[in-house]
Structure 1
Amino acid sequence: MAQKTISLNWQQLLKSGSRIFIGSHAAVPTLLIDDLIANAKSLHDIEIVQLVTFSDNRWASPEFQHLFKVNTLFIGGHTIRQAVAEGRADYTPCFMTDIPALFTDGILPLDAALIMVSPADEHGYHSLGVAVDVISAAAKAAKIVIAQVNPAMPTTYGQSFIHKDDIDAFFYAEQALPEIEPPELDARTERIGQYVSLLVEDGATIQIGVGKICAAVTRYLSNHKDLGLHTELLTDGALDLIKKGVINNRRKTFHPGKSVTSFCMGTKRLYDFVDKNPHIGFYPSEYVNSPINIARNDRMVSINSAIEVDLTGQIVSDSIGHMFYSGVGGQVDFSRGASMSQGGKPIIALPSTAKNGTISRIVPHIKEGAGVVTTRAHVHYVVTEFGVASLRGKSIRERALELIRVAHPKFRNQLLAEVRKNYWVPHYQLQTPVDVPELGPVGFKELTFNGEKFDIRPLNPSDERRLQEFFYSHTKETLQMRYNSVPTQMSREKSCTLVSVDQSKDLALCIVKQKGSVVEIQAVGRYYLIPNENSCEVAFVTREVLQGRGMAKRLLAEMINIATSRGLNSMQAFVRSENKPMLKVFENAGFVRLKSDDPTEVYLKLTIPGKGEN
């Protein structure tokens, strides 16, 4: 480069007790800070305000505690985490969208901002490159700006420029940007990614972060169409989706045609991609993380993680008990923005256990000292490797049942027992095996009837109210045909009994119409095991307006497949003689009429191929 790197006169730029901001994420001016450390001389008690700094963070090590005191707004990396734990550094929790105002409103007035920029263009503008985030606000609010000019820094577009006249001191030094390689994925993480991807519709706009779960989500979004990107962090996973044409921003309703971000971290491939790329807009955090702006994207999906989730839906993500681990960041900003978006979905995704499966991350109550980052009212979905818990519009009791369902099976009974201590759960509410592995790896199948999409899945305890609604939708004729009588009540206790099925023995499947958090049962099929005959009794019922579409046929086909895989010899059914449509469904599936002692009822039996007669 033309300019020669020389040390700065820090005694002229700073004084003891100054508060300085240092560039964040992959835009840490490491060589500039090294120069400060090497030439600090008599300076001391300088407060460093920072976010995550993808660096060695040597300024936070014990040997420099008389020179620096760190105040981090998000904890990242072992060195910073240890400094906070030992009291050599402070942690200030705040929403990402609120941080710029801390600087501009003088709550955390800055004497200097130490930043890293690209070389100036012909008009004298330097780019903030791979991190605009809160650096933009810090540079505007600080009394002086000291910039490391780095030719390795990409030039990014959006609101990412600072003019040379707004920089008070220049330090010319080339520095390779730190790289993060995509993580290796295990089977559990992949399953979580698969479940999350199923919640993302074609045409949605997504926010996604860093880490194994987010990498798994991007992998399973590879067959989606016309996704948009509005995210604080751009990663290699998102880059892969852009390269494949999955993210094309065509259907975005805010900044259509452009991916919007605040900073990026990843490999050199990612940094090369954003360099002078007009299709990627880098904007400040107060703009990108504004819930109002986020909500301007229809079908906005926010995907974040957590350390633990309690059974009411409270999200802990910045601390493990009394130990502060990370920060508030943008999770609440994006959760709120997605919940305000038309068709939006705020999602929290996490493994069901920690410490090699010895601790449940779905907990009856949060640990002492832990803080709630995202409230129980913010999140619509919680995803683990055991499925998707839908929380929106659910009562505390219903939330508990949904979350227990996606907890690790070995903790489910314990969680139910614990929740009874503090919240009312009826005595008849039991925790039973709810998984039906035969439905495939995600536990349900997508179906299409007359062009409409439905899901077939197991009934589960949280379907209690839905089953009541399904029952009360039936006409007297349907009730007569299904129950051979006309029951007038489906009590809460009765409904609970019907959805608390040990799916490893008996079977209870349903076909549901689902749109976001709105779920309506359209058909139910069951079989009850007859152990002494190695057989089962089958029955099903379909909502009247959907009868004749083939739902009963599909339910019966699934039940036959499951019974076959479970080694049953036969299946049986008892149908009223005037119920011609149901008789036709059974007979088309291979059931044969046999002698019945009741002339009003037809007895049918299917001998499962290869099993022979009993």
Structure 2
Amino acid sequence: MGKPLCSFDDIARSFAPGDHLFLPGCGSEACDLVTALHGVEQLQITTTFVPGINPTPIDDFAASTRVTGLFMTPALSAPQARGQYRHLPLSYAGFARYAQDNFTPDAIALTVSEPNAQGMVSLGTSVEFSALVLARAPRKIAVINPNMPYVATSHCLPLSTFDTIARSDTPLRTYDVGPRQPEAEQIATHLAGLIPDGAALQVGLGKVPDALFAQLHDRKGLRLHSGMFSDGVIGLNGAGALSPDWPHMTCALIGSPALYDWAGRQDQISVTGCEHTHDPARIAAIDGFITVNTALEVDLFGQCNLETANGRAVSSPGGAPDFARAGRMSHGGLSIVALPSSFAKGTQSRITAAIHAPGLVSLARYDIDMIITEHGIADLRKGSTHDRAEAIINIAAPAFRADLTEQWNVIKNRL
């Protein structure tokens, strides 16, 4: 006989003061339990909630509850200042190592699929760090949700593994890339010219990756190895662009319900843990690995800021440092940063003379081969410091190039 189902309120009441709970993000979020936890006092929560996908309801939690996460947003600035939120400045590979060596929470709670005839459940569209934590946490809480597909190529385990079981039909978290933009289409065109048949490819979420996948339908033998994929992977697979012999993998599929439905029917893309998808040594061993990341700001040295805007923390690097280093070291690979040249309706440049205060550098200049904007490609691979600055200025929005050149002339005389 199976375990009886528990209510979310009963699960919330079962935590003692000081208990430490891990809540994974993306589609794994146990949304109903998060709501039930709002009134729990003195809970310690570690989460991998992703901004724009998983809200972090910090103001709804009890004042005595402490939340630790991998991402920052402006809404978390005040809670961090008062000690209610702790930001861990780790990449995904860094957190995977942390989870393997130093992390043993009292419990993990996550969404799983309906069990199959053999009593197995699938973590479905998102594994990220869950398999690592499931192996270490003494208490395991499963929320069975019919909206989570049984993905046979994901991490699957017996339902009997779990100590506590609840049921929910709350829709999974989704991601909408939004309408396409001309700048993203042009950047994708530059990128597509660098991706040959048979390339190994990593992209993230956003308008540029979505546009890029749409432009790669005529490729053959592509090998996918990434952190997250969205709906664009459906068309790429349907076009026959993927290698039938490569172990394509991602740690999460996040997009529309149509993507989740497809995920449960496909057998080419594995959803696996970040200890596999984000291991720089493993990725660097893949020949021809092309990684495409983005940034909020790139300076004339080729350094990239993925974390702050106007002096405030707005995000975190995620897996970008892991992939950038691996792409740089891969034989025949490329580490690319692609971004629009300006923002605020063209009034501000994303290409700057130096990273603005507080000066956080998410990707070092040593880990970048190319910077791409809608205005072209800055190939940094053989350039000196001065050559690189000139190349980057040439792909800035034209309205800012004169000022950038003037600022660089001041900087270079001090080097």
Q: TM-score, normalising length from structure 1?
A: 0.63
Q: Does 1:59 align with 2:60?
A: no
**Distance between the aligned counterparts of 1:11 and 1:218, measured in 2?**
42
Corresponding residue number in structure 1 for 2:109: 114
**Distance between the aligned counterparts of 1:85 and 1:401, measured in 2?**
40
Corresponding residue number in structure 1 for 2:100: 104
Corresponding residue number in structure 2 for 1:18: 19
Q: What SS class does the counterpart of residue 203 from structure 1 fall into?
A: coil
2:410 pairs with one of 411, 421, 424: 421
Tell me how far 1:104 sits from its aligned partner.
3.0
**Distance between the aligned counterparts of 1:295 and 1:168, measured in 2?**
39
> Contact between 2:24 and 2:49, CA under 8 Å: does it hold in 1?
no
**Distance between the aligned counterparts of 1:358 and 1:105, measured in 2?**
46
Tell me how far 1:158 sits from its aligned partner.
3.8
Q: What SS class does the counterpart of residue 302 from structure 2 fall into?
A: coil
CA deviation string 1:464-513 (max 9, x = no partner): xxxxxxxxxxxxxxxxxxxxxxxxxxxxxxxxxxxxxxxxxxxxxxxxxx
Letter in 2 for 1:16: P
**Distance between the aligned counterparts of 1:87 and 1:319, measured in 2?**
20
**Distance between the aligned counterparts of 1:81 and 1:293, measured in 2?**
35
**Distance between the aligned counterparts of 1:178 and 1:203, measured in 2?**
33
Corresponding residue number in structure 1 for 2:7: 6
Tell me how far 1:18 sits from its aligned partner.
2.1
**Distance between the aligned counterparts of 2:113 and 2:176, measured in 1?**
23
Q: What SS class does the counterpart of residue 260 from structure 1 fall into?
A: strand
> Contact between 2:68 and 2:85, CA under 8 Å: does it hold in 1?
yes
Corresponding residue number in structure 2 for 1:315: 304
1:389 pairs with one of 356, 361, 378: 378
Corresponding residue number in structure 2 for 1:519: none
Q: Does 1:138 align with 2:133?
A: yes
Letter in 2 for 1:285: C
Q: What SS class does the counterpart of residue 27 from structure 2 fall into?
A: coil
Q: What SS class does the counterpart of residue 231 from structure 1 fall into?
A: coil
Change (3 A) 1:152 1:422: same
Q: Does 1:263 align with 2:252?
A: yes
Tell me how far 1:201 sits from its aligned partner.
1.3
Written as runs of structure 1 = structure 2, the 5 A alignment for 1:106-255 is 106=102, 108-158=103-153, 160-246=155-241, 248-250=242-244
Tell me how far 1:234 sits from its aligned partner.
1.6
> Contact between 1:74 and 1:326, CA under 8 Å: does it hold in 2?
yes
Change (3 A) 1:181 1:339: same
Tell me how far 1:321 sits from its aligned partner.
4.9
Tell me how far 1:396 sits from its aligned partner.
0.5
Tell me how far 1:7 sits from its aligned partner.
3.9
Tell me how far 1:334 sits from its aligned partner.
0.9
Letter in 2 for 1:235: S
Tell me how far 1:232 sits from its aligned partner.
1.1
Corresponding residue number in structure 2 for 1:32: 33
Letter in 2 for 1:341: S
CA deviation string 1:114-163 (max 9, x = no partner): 11111223333221111101111122222211111112211123451233
Letter in 2 for 1:205: A
Written as runs of structure 1 = structure 2, the 5 A alignment for 1:558-597 is none
> Contact between 1:23 and 1:116, CA under 8 Å: does it hold in 2?
no
Letter in 2 for 1:236: D
Letter in 2 for 1:192: I
Task: Count residues in correspondence.
Answer: 412
**Distance between the aligned counterparts of 2:220 and 2:54, measured in 1?**
40
**Distance between the aligned counterparts of 2:265 and 2:218, measured in 1?**
28
Tell me how far 1:171 sits from its aligned partner.
0.9
What runs of 5+ residues in structure 1 fail to find an aligned partner? 251-255, 427-614
Change (3 A) 1:271 1:356: same
Letter in 2 for 1:197: A
The structure, 1 or 2, with the larger RCO (C-alpha pairs under 8 Å, 6+ apart) is 2
How high is the sequence identity, in percent, across the aligned residues? 26
Tell me how far 1:353 sits from its aligned partner.
0.9
Which structure has the greater CA radius of gyration? 1
Change (3 A) 1:285 1:388: same
Q: TM-score, normalising length from structure 2?
A: 0.92
1:398 pairs with one of 368, 373, 387: 387
Change (3 A) 1:81 1:230: farther
Q: Does 1:296 align with 2:285?
A: yes
Corresponding residue number in structure 2 for 1:89: 85
Q: What SS class does the counterpart of residue 141 from structure 1 fall into?
A: coil
> Contact between 1:318 and 1:327, CA under 8 Å: does it hold in 2?
yes
Letter in 2 for 1:209: G
Letter in 1 for 2:274: S
Tell me how far 1:217 sits from its aligned partner.
1.5
Letter in 1 for 2:253: C
Change (3 A) 1:396 1:94: same
**Distance between the aligned counterparts of 1:58 and 1:295, measured in 2?**
34
> Contact between 2:291 and 2:334, CA under 8 Å: does it hold in 1?
yes
**Distance between the aligned counterparts of 1:394 and 1:376, measured in 2?**
12
Letter in 1 for 2:57: W
Corresponding residue number in structure 2 for 1:70: 67
Letter in 1 for 2:282: N
Tell me how far 1:419 sits from its aligned partner.
1.1
Change (3 A) 1:261 1:56: closer
Q: Does 1:341 align with 2:330?
A: yes
> Contact between 1:157 and 1:282, CA under 8 Å: does it hold in 2?
no
**Distance between the aligned counterparts of 2:355 and 2:70, measured in 1?**
23
